[in-house]
Amino acid sequence: MNATALLIGLGPLLGWGLYPTIASKIGGRPVNQILGSTLGTLIFALVFAAINGMGLPTGMDLVFSILSGVGWATAQIITFQSFTMVGSSRAMPITTAFQLLGASLWGVLALGNWPGVNAKLLGGFALILIILGAWMTVWTEEKTQEKASILKKAVILLAVGEIGYWAYSAAPQATSIDGMHAFLPQAIGMLLVAVVYSVFLGIKNKEKSAFAEAVSYKHIFSGFFFAFAALTYLISAQPDMNGLATGFILSQTSVVLATLTGIWFLGQKKTKKEMTITIIGLVLILAAATITVMI
């Protein structure tokens, strides 16, 4: 692996690692966060497409790429809602674990990955590590019925959100389009969901429209971080760079930065024992990610 490929491969570490913390720090409601983030992503995608002379794909390539963006935005709304319940430092390891589980199971059931008994056993062991690691990151010394109930609701929400993240990754695979050309239509799909969600909430709750709130447009900045991560991952996963397996491993390092910055900068406090167990849990998740892509 050359230095350039490594630097590009670590792009998601910064982008996806800082994105949830920046979005939480800017604040606002989930609707403000998704509207601004997707607008920032579309701006980033438009600039990238213009620089590289890329237009929109046509036919089913366009349809599935937009559906991919719809899946991500739907899942991200749910993830933002979980942030308000348990904080990003607890929600991010859980959602990362669900994404790893979803990607692994999709690979086995639909793509024929992990052929043979030994591969399936090793893969099963990795999935157990993912579940254990996620549980360790949310472990708390002070157990109350209220906290347990809130955590349970957040976990269920994030599990449902995995359907959207799965669609984000799987939809482009139904066509021949590559990730870089899918980037712009994905961003369009993301913004479409955000606009519909914003309009729906405004009508349903008769509250101030997210379009009229300044905090929504502040989140354009956080959207740049997401877009940077998504684009560098797509480039990193190319065969002439790091390849899909190594690119995926490098992208998963973002969970460490997202969790730790949530604790350090957002006041999501943990005791010394909780912090130790959280770090061990993060290591287990990363180890499991490495195993699943190397089988």
Would you tell me how many other CB atoms lie within 10 Å of the CB of residue 232? 24
**Mean pLDDT in runs of 10 for the chain (295 residues)?**
81 92 94 96 97 92 94 94 90 87 77 80 88 88 82 92 87 79 94 96 84 96 95 81 74 87 86 92 88 75
Q: What is the pLDDT of residues 101-119, one digit of tens each?
A: 887 777 777 767 778 888 8
The per-residue pLDDT for 32 is 96
The per-residue pLDDT for 72 is 93
Give dist(CA 139, CA 136) in Å, integer. 5
3-state secondary structure of 237: coil
The per-residue pLDDT for 49 is 95
Give dist(CA 84, CA 260) in Å, integer. 17
Q: Are 198 and 106 in contact (CB under 8 A)?
A: no
Would you tell me how many other CB atoms lie within 10 Å of the CB of residue 158? 26
3: Cβ contacts below 8 Å, ≥ 6 apart: none
The per-residue pLDDT for 33 is 96
The structure tokens listed for 38 are: 């997707």
The per-residue pLDDT for 245 is 65
- Give residue 226's domain range: 3-294
Question: Which residue type does 193 have?
Answer: V
Instruction: Classify the phi-psi angles of 27: left when phi > 0, otherwise alpha if psi is within -120 to 50, otherwise beta.
Output: left
Name the domain count of the chain. 1
Give dist(CA 114, CA 92) in Å, integer. 27
The per-residue pLDDT for 167 is 87
The per-residue pLDDT for 77 is 95
Number of alpha carbons in the 13 Å side-chain half-sphere of residue 203: 6
Give dist(CA 62, CA 170) in Å, integer. 14
Could you please report the per-residue DSSP string of 77-144?
A: HHHHHHHHHH-HHHHHHHHHHHHHHHHHHHHHHTT--S-SHHHHHHHHHHHHHHHHHHHHHT--SS--
